[in-house]
Chains A and B, each alone.
Chain A
Amino acid sequence: MEAGFLIQLLVNGLVIGVIYALIAMGLSLIFGVLEIVNFAHGEFYMLAAMAAYFLTTNLGLGYWPTVAVVSVAGLAVGYVLYEALLASLRGESFERSILLTLGLSMVLQNGAIFLFTTTPKMIVSPYTYANFIFGQVRVPVLRVFALGLGVAAFALLYLVLYRTQVGKAMRGVAQNRDAALMVGIDPRAISRLAVAIGIGLSGLAGAALAPIYAVHPLMGFSFVFKAFAIIIIGGLGNVSGAAIAAIALGVLENLMGGFLPQVTVDGLAFVAMIAILLIRPEGLFGRGVRV
């Protein structure tokens, strides 16, 4: 077995794991603060990738401006999403929140299919075929950028949650919404911010992945199913648990993909989720309130 091959698989796994993490962290954050499972989360990732495609291909925007624009747009969309749809829901109407976001997902996904068709689109940029070369290992530049962006986003989210007043408020609402209200935290403002951050993270993921994989309307759908498994494995509502589980899953999937049939790789996330539910239902890193 060649060491270079293993390292290649490892690096690819890390990149995809970081992207899983960006999506799963947003999902977990939204669940932790609002007790809502956002079924449309993958569609925002898809829309972000679509937006990145049009910004680079039609408007000729560079890689970094595209990432910035799409992430900021994601934040804004999150604000609007909360105010327009999610604000009317309460924690106890969990099934309603799922059906509502599912409806949104259907509209976005099928609308995208109608407008853009399911033909995959590739972004061609000066970075597309560029590689960093370390000895025998060649790592595409874009994957390194995606990795860096993911790590930076994770660090930033950690700083916001643990080093700022608003992050403390967010953890407070996640722990106990009523108690947070009583000490003067506005749950609505905090929830809005959580949704904005969550959608912003999937916007970032979409923009970072768009130049690496093909862009098409069904891309979010297959991704979000793994994100669901990840947030259960990491513990529902536990953001760092989701990040760790996501990276572990990405690496394991790629290592397995190098040697085993595709079907075992597909099943890994699901089997791991069921195993965790049977052995340790609160998730690997504890459930619920820890954001």
Chain B
Amino acid sequence: MNRGAAPLAFLVALAALFAVPRLTGNEYVLAFGVSFATFSVLASGLNLVYGYTGLLSFAQVAFFGVGGYTCALLVTEWHWSLWTSAAAGGVLAALIGLLIGYSSLRLSRHAFAIVTISFALLCMIVSRDWVSLTRGSMGIPGLPVPSLALPGGLSWRLNRPSDFFSLMLGFSLASHVLIYLLVTSRIGRAMQAVKLNEPLAQSQGLNPLGYKLLTITLSAFLSGVIGSLFVFYLTIVDPSIFDFYYTETMLIMVILGGPGSFWGVLFSTAVLTGLPDLLRFSTDLRMVLYGLILIGAMLLFPGGIGGWFKQRRLAHWRKQPYGDKP
């Protein structure tokens, strides 16, 4: 896709999104859309950190949940609007991401992975035990129907599933355009250089820590905002928002789609969002299956779908004759 065409494609897709609920009232389609919007932002955020910059982060679910809790608390306790609360949730998640990234990357990539998983588990435990703030394992149920103030004095009450469908897919679309523009820019190439060979990138005058912190902070922000919107869709936030299930699912999406492949991850997210309904058996067995997929992928095809296409493309190029085409 041409970079210049991105804003246009964004507007067309946005219009199409708002048209879908008019065309079909099918709740399955709407629920699928919300689910896809949530997971695609989470998976693309993880792809940004892991696929492009080479840092394995387990804290995406923590940013997601921190965003959700922050937003829910700001709306219910301080009566902020959904706009500002969601932004605040995203900003808090981003700040935490910055702190975690800065402190652990001083040591190593190893430490980053360990600190992020510890943080994700800590969030789950704290949300359960800090009863005075988070109300413990009961969570905060009955989140109010939010109303968004739009420019021009209008307001949009989000009281139907189709409203969340449009809002969340709209946000997810904006995130993907942002991520796409980022990874195809000079910054994106610098990120990949840092992933492939950090000392070499450094010797070319790139500051690896800066690029790493940028991707961590951005993906934390996006996860935080989508978490904020997601809890209002569910109308409840409780400690299960930090469930390891989200981490496992988004990891599978990135690994199968191909780390560092923008379209591959979106494709696998779409497939895997639909799949649980096809694999309609016990959740435990589904997670066993995901675990087996993860092991198999790591042993057999670590590049995922995107990696396979990339190899094909490289093989195609190698067959081309040297020199300019006649």
Give A contacts to B, CB under 8 Å: 31, 35, 37, 39, 85, 88, 94-96, 98-100, 102-111, 113-114, 221-222, 225, 228-229, 231-232, 236, 261-263, 266-267, 269-270, 273-274, 277-278, 281-282, 287
Contact = CB atoms under 8 A, between A and B. Distances in A.
A105 B285 contact: no
B contact residues, range? 35 or more
A185 to B, nearest CB: 24
Nearest to A271: B122
B117 A232 contact: no
Pick the most buried of B50, B100, B104: most chain A CB atoms within 10 A of its CB.
Answer: B104
B294 A106 contact: yes
Contacts of A99: 56, 251, 255, 294, 297-298
B212 to A, nearest CB: 14
A282 B118 CA distance: 18
A236 B107 CA distance: 10
Contacts of A236: 107-108, 110-111
A270 B103 contact: no
Nearest to A278: B103
Given A106-B294, A111-B288, A277-B107, A228 B114 contact: yes
Interface of B: 50, 54, 56, 99-100, 103-104, 106-111, 113-115, 117-119, 121-122, 125-126, 129-130, 244, 248, 251, 255, 282-285, 287-288, 290-295, 297-299, 302
Nearest to B109: A94
Given A107-B291, A110-B284, A266-B126, A98 B56 contact: yes
Contact of B298 (A94, A103, A114): A103
22 contacts: A35-B110, A37-B113, A37-B114, A88-B299, A95-B54, A95-B109, A99-B294, A103-B291, A103-B295, A106-B288, A106-B291, A107-B292, A107-B295, A110-B283, A110-B287, A221-B121, A225-B122, A266-B125, A267-B126, A270-B118, A270-B119, A270-B122
Contacts of A104: 291, 295
A111 B113 CA distance: 25
Nearest to A277: B103
A95 B113 contact: yes
Contacts of A94: 109-110, 113
A96 to B, nearest CB: 5
B-side interface mostly: helix
B291 A225 contact: no
A39 B117 CA distance: 10
Contacts of A267: 122, 126
Contacts of A110: 283-285, 287-288, 291
Given A111-B284, A263-B130, A274-B115, A103 B109 contact: no
Nearest to A265: B129
Given A114-B282, A277-B104, A102 B294 contact: yes
Given A228-B118, A270-B122, A96 B302 contact: yes
A261 B136 CA distance: 13
Nearest to B54: A95
B54 to A, nearest CB: 7
Nearest to A236: B110
Contacts of A109: 287
B295 A100 contact: yes
Contacts of B251: 99, 102
A96 B56 CA distance: 10
Contact of B106 (A31, A35, A100, A277): A277
A109 B282 CA distance: 14
B67 to A, nearest CB: 19
A98 B111 CA distance: 12
Given A96-B298, A99-B255, 17 more contacts: A37-B113, A39-B117, A102-B251, A103-B290, A103-B291, A103-B293, A103-B294, A106-B290, A106-B294, A109-B287, A110-B288, A221-B244, A262-B129, A263-B129, A266-B122, A267-B122, A278-B103
Contacts of A98: 56, 113
B213 to A, nearest CB: 15
Contacts of A287: 107
B114 A232 contact: yes
Pick the most buried of B50, B100, B130: most chain A CB atoms within 10 A of its CB.
Answer: B130
